[in-house]
Structure 1
Amino acid sequence: MKERNHLNVYKGPYSVKDYFNPDVAPLLPLVELPDSLNPYRQDGVRIYAKMMTMHPANNVKAMPALNLLEHGVVPDKTHTVVEYSSGSTVISMAMASRVLYGLSDVHAFLSNKTTAAKLRLMQFFGLNILTDVSLAASTLFGGPSQPEPNDERGGIRAAYRWAQKSESVVNPDQYGNDLNWQSHVRWTGPQILEQLPEINLICAGMGTSGTMSGLGTFFKEKKSSVYRLGVCTAAGDRVPGPRSLALLAPVTFPWRSAVDHIEEVESRPSFSLSLKLCRNGIISGPSSGFNLQGLFQFIEKRKQEGTLAKLTGEDGEMHCVTLCCDLPYQYIDEYFSKLGLETFPAIKNSELTVVDLYRYDSSWEKEPSAALADFYQLDMVLARDLLFFLSKRRVKERQGWEKIVSPVPDTVIVDLRQPEDYDQFSLPGSVSFPLVQAGGPSPFSNAKLLASLWREFGVSLGSESEEICSQIRGKRSLIICYDGDSARVATSVLRAKGYAADSMGGGIKALHRLDSQLEGDQHGYGG
């Protein structure tokens, strides 16, 4: 057996294999909950979270997956792994199969009630999702999401039958294979006892019942004074992973002899406690909150009965370990549906979540001097004087001059300001499309204005039939407005529609500032 890697550094050809190996990696953390998360601290109760999520596979099912595969995969013979799983077990199997055995052909049988987030998570980890008894990938298994292990209509038996047809296919069978619960006798239990010899109570949820069967069996043998608390879902309710007490009836694992008491827990407090743990630095999913809620309920009952002191140790305190089994990320939508929007901070300017969806690029926003040089074929010194001379002339006064000073071929300058402002001051050869009002705030400082402007641009700039689109189609365009910000939004929309558009940073206001600066330079030279 390899020595434990206390430095937690993995090198060489077996680095990732050692990283996954519980016999080599440092013990998974055991973290005492602070008083803010432990309402019973003043009663002499200390609660520790065993962070099963800190295994490389990020969940408690990594231990069974490792044990099942170690005794199930036959080198040079096994080519395929298939398992019915709601997520964590088969994802752990997929990772461990690749890392330890070089097997990438791992298949998951799933309930049709599996969330879209979980389905995508399994696809993310490269799992092949087999979904009915004929092994076609077109439909999901109907019926209960947690079928009884011996139900021939369900996915558990379907996975078993497929493995029986070929020696190259292995079905580890987390529901009926004793190697599931024995993994916690082998690894999880010894870790906890080594970390906390004074432990008085162990608490875990019951799905396949493997975790509690293993931990309960271990502590019965190694420290029989430890109270063993199992947690089940309340009848008719659901928390991802655990089962109700009724659904445990056909499970053959020795869970009955592995628990001293079972608490039934509802989903809402489970999600709520999980959220509280996460916000206070203990990142854990709903089944972790579920376990802690079961522990709280049990402690409260014993407190009310006056029997809590019977579970304390020699130091007069009660040391409880509860398992953090999963992470919250794949259940985010369920947190919102279970707990309600009022539980979460509101998103300010939420109207922007459905508008202004196209990308921006700083290279599309040109400084005035660079824009003039790019869109007019004039020596820059001449352009500096002539362009500003012409821009100050009213449109009627510029006639004739614009034949000499006009944008370069295959370009067009689009001015979004109102007609009276365009007539007062505009660049030679520009065209007027009055889509922006004068005197308003920047759309980037006013969410409602940005939303309204983006929608208007989507209509006005998004249709090939619109006059503006016919003017700029096949050309490079420079979009101008009062302060540059509305033109920036218009450029984003036009770029998303396939047009080669740029905007003038700062808009006409920036042109005025540039003009003033140039006039000042001229006065200084003359003086």
Structure 2
Amino acid sequence: MAPISDDTKNLNERNVYFGADSLKKYFDPDCQPPLPLVELPEYLNPYYHDGVRIYAKMMTMHPANNVKAMPALNLLESSVVPQKTNRIIEYSSGSTVISMSMVARVMHGINDTRAFLSNKTSDAKLKLMQFFGLDITLFGGPSQPEPLDERGGIQNARRQAQESESIINPNQYENDKNWQSHIRWTGPQIYKQLPEINVLCAGMGTSGTLTGLGTYFKQVKPSVYRLGVCTAAGDRVPGPRSFALMRPVEFPWKDAVDTIEEVGSTDSYTWSLKLCREGLVCGPSSGFNLQGLFQMLEKRKAAGTLSELAGPDGLIHSVFLCCDLPYQYIGEYFEKLNAEQFPPIRNEYLTKVDLYRYDEAWERDAIDVLPTVYTSTGPLSTTPLQDIALKPNHLVLDLRRPEDFSSWHLPSSTNLPLSSTGPHTPSPFSDPTILEAQWRELEKLFSEPQLLADLQPHHVLLVCYNGDSARVATSVLRAKGLEADSVRGGLHALRAYEAGLGNGVVGMSESVSKPIAATVSVAAVPLD
């Protein structure tokens, strides 16, 4: 067991890490300032006026962002054999093995860390492990197998390590270096930061955190009341176990705890959400620990024994651990909690429409339209209308209503009127209901096989009243693999450009419009 110290060794008050081994120092708790200890404000502490002060120990602020970083450091330090170990295998639901993968790379130069875990692990957590470069093997059976069950992944990891001298299985479930890491680092940090501590609260999964902290404080300050928190029977919170599943755990946790509370998932996620919104970003197991502390305080208050926990100053200084971050469990918050706890998404229907990308390069200024799309025997600005022609493989689609198209349009353009737009219709980007209707109409229209076949050989220029409907249409066509652009500013920009020319382009409405095919000359496709 690591020696107990009443102080931490780090002197890095500036929190800066230099040199070739900067990352190693960054991960080493002995080279860091203590992880933050933050008192909850009165409005988050229902027992404030009972003389209770509650502090969150932010284990999430370690570079690995979770409480399992400490065991990972201690386990690998004692297990890795330099120049021999090249692979690490660990059965873990997430935080331990993710921390191990980072610690293995940074501290030991090992890039091959493999995670054995339950096939019931969420997709988000599996992707998180892949993100951190872990090789994953899934196992059936209970999501939290008993450590000694020969059928489970824990013993499978152990067997594989026994078969090769280059593979290690640190085995967080049986290796005393797990809980001793909190005697080495976490306990001394808390005691240095808050020597007045009266109550300590930690969740129980492998039980390493509580075993280590409970053992430490039993030796340095026996008056500290040690609270363990288990999940309520039949419920689940990521990380901790139910009390029934603590039976096979061989760590000396029973000597490290004074009482146990059982907490459900709804309270855990609720308090995690509250803490996050107030600036203490932490996951469900952190809310779980806080709720366990509240339950214990409430029971003692009802029994009239709360004051027995107070120190010489008359206050009860209570510390609970914030163990991980919420991000990998985001979906579960919405499953566990009522919708009323989350602000609404306005215009949420837009999540199902306007699904394709936009690119400013697809919007053409009016001044570029004629030289880009049309050709003539002389300068376009002086060439008579009858001598202007579309370039080969170019096509102009005008999305305006037939009567507006008839009064003015670009030479040789084709009318493909939309029912969702008109001369006085607001921009689809200023009115989400118009965008929804317009996108659905365009998506249906441009999904017609014959129309797509007719458009396929062409580079399509789209024209509308103000440019925005054509911009949406361009996005849809581009998503379907066609070359398409729109006129920025639409009809208004084109007419302004025409007025500025003062030449033969005036009178475009006299030109003949050409349909692509019979299917294109029909009115806009009606919406469902």
Instruction: From 334, 337, 354, give the equivalent of 2:335.
Output: 337
Cα distance, 1:410 vs. partner? Answer: 2.5
Q: Distance in 2 between matches of 1:192 and 1:257?
A: 20
1:117 corresponds to 2:100: no
Residue 275 of structure 1: aligned partner: 273
- The alignment yields a C-alpha RMSD, in angstroms, of 1.8
> SS where residue 479 of structure 1 aligns?
strand
Cα distance, 1:4 vs. partner? Answer: 3.0
Q: Is the 8 A contact 2:376 2:389 kept in 1?
A: no
| Letter paired with 1:443 | P
Cα distance, 1:464 vs. partner? Answer: 4.0
Q: Distance in 2 between matches of 1:515 and 1:225?
A: 89
Deviation by residue 1:19-44 (Cα, 9 ceiling, x = unmatched): 00011111101111111211111111
Q: Distance in 1 between matches of 2:455 and 2:366?
A: 20
1:418 corresponds to 2:425: no
Deviation by residue 1:138-192 (Cα, 9 ceiling, x = unmatched): xxx2221111111111111111111111111100010011110000000000000
Instruction: From 284, 287, 305, give the equivalent of 2:285.
Output: 287
> SS where residue 389 of structure 2 aligns?
coil
Structure 2 portions without partners, runs of 5+ = 1-7, 504-528
> SS where residue 30 of structure 2 aligns?
coil
Instruction: From 15, 21, 24, give the equivalent of 2:22.
Output: 15
Residue 461 of structure 1: aligned partner: 446
Go from structure 1 to structure 2 and tell me whether the alpha carbon gap of 1:477 and 1:217 turns closer, same or farther (over 3 Å shift).
same
Residue 95 of structure 1: aligned partner: 102
1:38 corresponds to 2:41: no
Q: Distance in 1 between matches of 2:361 and 2:497?
A: 20
Aligned residues: 494
Cα distance, 1:407 vs. partner? Answer: 2.1
| Letter paired with 2:145 | P
Q: Distance in 1 between matches of 2:454 and 2:92?
A: 58
Residue 149 of structure 1: aligned partner: 147
> SS where residue 371 of structure 2 aligns?
helix
Cα distance, 1:344 vs. partner? Answer: 0.7
Residue 449 of structure 1: aligned partner: 434
Residue 312 of structure 2: aligned partner: 314
Moved more, 454-463 or 419-428: 454-463
Cα distance, 1:512 vs. partner? Answer: 2.8
1:130 corresponds to 2:137: yes
| Letter paired with 1:451 | E
Instruction: From 245, 262, 276, give the equivalent of 2:260.
Output: 262
Deviation by residue 1:343-376 (Cα, 9 ceiling, x = unmatched): 2111111111121111111111122122233222
Residue 470 of structure 2: aligned partner: 487
Cα distance, 1:506 vs. partner? Answer: 1.4
Residue 396 of structure 1: aligned partner: none
Q: Distance in 2 between matches of 1:224 and 1:491?
A: 72
> SS where residue 420 of structure 1 aligns?
helix
Go from structure 1 to structure 2 and tell me whether the alpha carbon gap of 1:371 and 1:379 turns closer, same or farther (over 3 Å shift).
farther
| Letter paired with 2:70 | M
Moved more, 89-98 or 160-169: 160-169
| Letter paired with 1:322 | F
Q: Distance in 1 between matches of 2:46 and 2:161?
A: 49
Go from structure 1 to structure 2 and tell me whether the alpha carbon gap of 1:235 and 1:3 turns closer, same or farther (over 3 Å shift).
closer
> SS where residue 335 of structure 2 aligns?
helix
Q: Is the 8 A contact 2:161 2:169 kept in 1?
A: yes
Residue 476 of structure 1: aligned partner: 459
So what's the TM-score if we normalise by structure 1? 0.91
Cα distance, 1:122 vs. partner? Answer: 0.5
Deviation by residue 1:295-320 (Cα, 9 ceiling, x = unmatched): 11111111111111111111111111
Q: Is the 8 A contact 2:376 2:383 kept in 1?
A: no
Cα distance, 1:441 vs. partner? Answer: 2.2
> SS where residue 38 of structure 2 aligns?
strand
1:24 corresponds to 2:22: no
